[in-house]
Amino acid sequence: MQNEGGGNQLWWQTGVVYQVYPRSFQDTSSDGVGDLAGILARLDALVDLGVDAIWVSPFYPSPMADFGYDVADYTGVDPLFGTLDDFDRLIAGAHARGLKLILDFVPNHTSDQHPWFLDSRESRTSSRRDWYLWHDPAPDGGPPNNWPSHFGGSGWTFDESTGQYYFHSFLREQPDLNWRNPAVREAIYAAMRFWLERGPGGRGVDGFRMDVLWLLIKDDQFRSNPPNPDFHGDANAPLIWQQLPLYTADQPETYEIVATMRALLDSYSGVYPRVLIGEIYLPIPKLVRYYGKPGTSLETPKLESQTAQLAGAQMPFNFHLIQTPWEAERIADLIRRYEAALPPGAWPNWVLGNHDQKRLASRIGAAQARVAAVLLLTLRGTPTLYYGDELGMPDANIAPGQIRDPAEKNQPGRGLGRDPERSPMIWDGSENAGFCPAEIQPWLPLVDDWPELNHAAQLKDEHSTLAVYRCLLALRRRYPALHSGAISDVAADHGVLQYVRSDGAARIQVHLNLTEESQSVRGCPGTVLVASGLDCTGERRGENLWVLANSAVVVLCDP
Ligand code: TEU
């Protein structure tokens, strides 16, 4: 098994990332939608929680067809979220508190209202025609091939005035850029530089989370995708399920682009190291290729402690905990397979939720969501938390008239809507949970249990989910074995998942009971950091042999 114990890791390796969905975090402008000033106002709560970096989903000028993932200007702030001055205050406020700021960047597509696309669709001879993926109709006048949209139906939309189709991996309001065009690359890299230099003193942002990084390049011969042999549903099922994305995803040319983005970030990393995170939904063997090849990066090996300097994304997001059945044997197998697949020098990472996925507490239940917190925060590699998960927030109930997400509107009734996991943060017991003023309607409804689950209520309860998160984050910060140590002895026995984290002689043993029954385990003698019942209120001696149902035990073994 691949280990990376000890030594001088960088902030994004030892730290914990927290995702903020800006529409839903804190409204200060009284319009029912969160904003940048709201994030600034809540930074102290995040410092208190114990995270190290925030990743903020898009706040660029946008028609909001996909709530900001349709960007109309890569170097601005949508008035809904504030101004560039608000951004400068946010980055200054984050840095003053020792927090890093990671921007969400959307390189695969723009809004159809972006000036580049308006120019591109103007005429076949427009100077930016080739910035997007235009193609003549098939002989029958239909779309050029079978490429699908992730949001239902064909990915091709016909443009009447110029008589060609353009391709969009998502909404028709999100045309895909042509990443084979060097001018497109330069324009995106220029926008990245803008943010890397923005803010007081020009220190800039600490990294990017790159949207759909594995989709950037499509087949240059526009070949149709083959059918998916594992699909057995009806013909009305989303097209994307019916095909293998052989020509629309994970094309080898993508790696070179990722390496160029990384080199760009490295060129800014002399004083403040930056991080490149990739949103990549792929099986593990394909995912780990996005770490890149050794040594082709511009940067010197001094920046990282590992022997090999890989030149790709430092964190290709690992979503496999979201996709794996919540069973000890399956998760143990996942941890072993992922660790074994990491190339030398690659730093692992783990994710339990985001703005596109059903909430953790609704996927595996409130009780196991607390066990999952212990897992996420004791595994080897950088954890990314999704806002609200520290409260055990479940999915919100969205009535038919409250649906906002185009993924749901385009494919109704299939459970594909993402509104439930985007419900406003619940801060306190006041009307609208402190998210927005009482007389304003939040853009999405609150979760039902907000009067009990809210942040202020949980702060007062030393056995709350928030207390478990705060305790685990503090332990992770305190013990090198947890934030940078090795992992070994990954096993599953009677529904209990176990592993050991170690740094030199220090060993921490983790036992997670993924079942509804108490289980006996063989533990090392030592100091119990988290006791059964997820009691994190103080250290005690013991050789815990029982892990209660839906619980976990973390022990610092005697030397
Ligand atoms: O998501 C990409 C992506 O793969 C999603 O379509 C995902 O599969 C789906 O939402 C799961 O339900 C990114 C962003 O995270 C998402 O919010 C955007 O809508 C999408 O890209 C387009 O930018």
Q: What is the pLDDT of residues 347-373, one digit of tens each?
A: 999 999 999 999 999 999 999 999 999
User: Is 76's pLDDT higher than 60?
Assistant: yes
In this structure, which residue's CA is closest to atom 17 in ligand 1?
356
Q: What is the pLDDT of residues 90-115, one digit of tens each?
A: 999 999 999 999 999 999 999 999 99
| Ligand 1 centre distance from Cα of residue 126 (Å) | 30
Question: What is the predicted pLDDT for the residue at 33?
Answer: 98
With a 6 A CB cut-off, is 214 part of the ligand 1 pocket? no
Q: Provide the edge-to-edge strand list for the sheet that holds 315-316.
A: 315-316, 275-278, 207-210, 100-105, 53-56, 17-20, 382-386, 349-351
Question: What is the predicted pLDDT for the residue at 432?
Answer: 98
Determine the atom of ligand 1 nearest the C-alpha atom of 66. Answer: 19
| Ligand 1 centre distance from Cα of residue 356 (Å) | 6
Determine the atom of ligand 1 nearest the C-alpha atom of 109. Answer: 23
User: Is 376's pLDDT higher than 50?
Assistant: yes
User: Is 190's pLDDT higher than 80?
Assistant: yes
With a 6 A CB cut-off, is 67 part of the ligand 1 pocket? no
User: Is 175's pLDDT higher than 60?
Assistant: yes
Report how far Cα 48 is from the mean position of its chain's Cα atoms: 21
Q: Among 3-7, 163-167, 329-333, 503-507, name the one with the lowest average pLDDT.
A: 3-7
In this structure, which residue's CA is closest to atom 11 in ligand 1?
356
Phi first, then psi: what are they for 90, rounded to 5°? -65, -45
Determine the atom of ligand 1 nearest the C-alpha atom of 281. Answer: 4
Q: How far apart are CA 110 and CA 230, in angstroms?
A: 32
In this structure, which residue's CA is closest to atom 9 in ligand 1?
356
Task: Sort residue 219 into left (φ over 0), alpha (ψ -120 to 50) or beta.
Answer: beta
| Ligand 1 centre distance from Cα of residue 151 (Å) | 9
Q: What is the pLDDT of residues 158-171, one digit of tens each?
A: 999 999 999 999 99
Contact assessment for residue 481 and residue 503, using Cβ atoms and an 8 Å cutoff: yes
In this structure, which residue's CA is closest to atom 18 in ligand 1?
69
Contact assessment for residue 397 and residue 448, using Cβ atoms and an 8 Å cutoff: yes
Q: Would you place residue 235 in the very low, low, confident or very high pLDDT band (cuts 50, 70, 90)?
A: confident
| Ligand 1 centre distance from Cα of residue 3 (Å) | 32
User: Is 305's pLDDT higher than 60?
Assistant: no
Q: How far apart are CA 142 and CA 121, in angstroms?
A: 19
Query: For a pocket test of ligand 1, which of 110, 174, 211, 404 has the largest count of ligand atoms closer than 8 A to its C-beta?
Result: 211
In this structure, which residue's CA is closest to atom 5 in ligand 1?
356
**Which residues, other chains included, contact 538 with Cβ-Cβ below 8 Å and sequence gap of 6+?**
none
